[in-house]
Amino acid sequence: MLRFLTKIAGRHLALALSMFGLWLLLSGYFTYPTLLAFGIISVLLTTWLAQRAGMLDREGVPTRVFPGILTYMLWLTVEIGKSNIAVTMHALSPRLKLSPKMVTVPAYQTSDLGKVIFANSITLTPGTVTVDLHENDILVHALTEDLADVGGMTAMGEKVCGFDGLEGREWARQRKAERHAAADKAAAERQAGGRQVGQ
């Protein structure tokens, strides 16, 4: 029953409920029946208008990014704090030691929304600004050599892929497997090299 309901009107329901929640929080009216009725009517009218305008699709009401985006935002807050401190140190240091750099970061998010979230996250962390966006990569301007951390930004992109649809998740899993294989290979080579030196 619930599955059937979410299949035919899932996005309508999600939009209407979230808008009504926002209306309640912003207005703070919980007891006046007249005002509540008007609130419900306005929410229904807006949902109908959104449906008429064709905005109730996977871009307009992106229900699939929840709940994954919430943990991502917590993680991002910590990252923002760290790089903020780094940039502040540069701004306050008596002698400027900047080494700006342009780097390209791969962005294989499946949807446009995923790309927007990824590019915005890069811009949001101080020290890196998204300058240009191509089909499958992002051009980033970084304040110093250390802040131009392509590996770190790619890892951030994989986190975004993790909550952005099935294909993105597949890509993130592939990348992780490749990285593990490379690490294993490097370890094996190191071991072999060590043995040779030992002989």
Partner 1 sequence: MIFDILSWCLFLLGALFIIAGSLGMLRFPDFYTRLHAAGVTDTLGVELMLLAMIFQSDNWITIVKLLLIALFMLLTSPVATHAIAHAAWVGKLKPMLGPDLRRDGDAETREEDA
- Is residue 123 within 8 A of residue 130, CB to CB? The reply is yes
In this structure, the number of other CB atoms found within 10 A of the CB of residue 156 comes to: 22
Residues 119-158: x where in contact with partner 1 by CB under 8 A, - otherwise, as a string:
xxx-xxxxxxxxxx------x-x-x-x-------------
- Is residue 162 within 8 A of residue 168, CB to CB? The reply is yes
Q: Is 6 in the site for partner 1 (CB under 8 A)?
A: no
- Is residue 173 within 8 A of residue 181, CB to CB? The reply is no
Chain-centroid distance, C-alpha 195: 44
| Closer to partner 1 by Cβ: residue 53 or 92 | 92
Q: Give least dist CB 75 to partner 1, A.
A: 14
Instruction: Count residues binding partner 1 (CB under 8 A).
Output: 35
Residues 52-71: x where in contact with partner 1 by CB under 8 A, - otherwise, as a string:
--------------------
Tokens representing 197 are: 């030196």
Residue from 2, 53, 78, 96 in contact with partner 1 (CB under 8 A):
96
Short-list 85, 79, 93, CA closest to 122: 79
| Closer to partner 1 by Cβ: residue 63 or 93 | 93
Q: Is 28 in the site for partner 1 (CB under 8 A)?
A: yes
- Is residue 66 within 8 A of residue 117, CB to CB? The reply is no
| Closer to partner 1 by Cβ: residue 46 or 123 | 123
Q: Is 101 in the site for partner 1 (CB under 8 A)?
A: yes
Let me know how many helices (H) and strands (E) the chain has, helices first. Answer: 6, 3
Tokens representing 94 are: 């008596």
Q: Is 78 in the site for partner 1 (CB under 8 A)?
A: no
| Residues near partner 1 (CB under 8 A) | 25-26, 28, 80-81, 84, 87-88, 90-92, 96-102, 119-121, 123-132, 139, 141, 143, 145
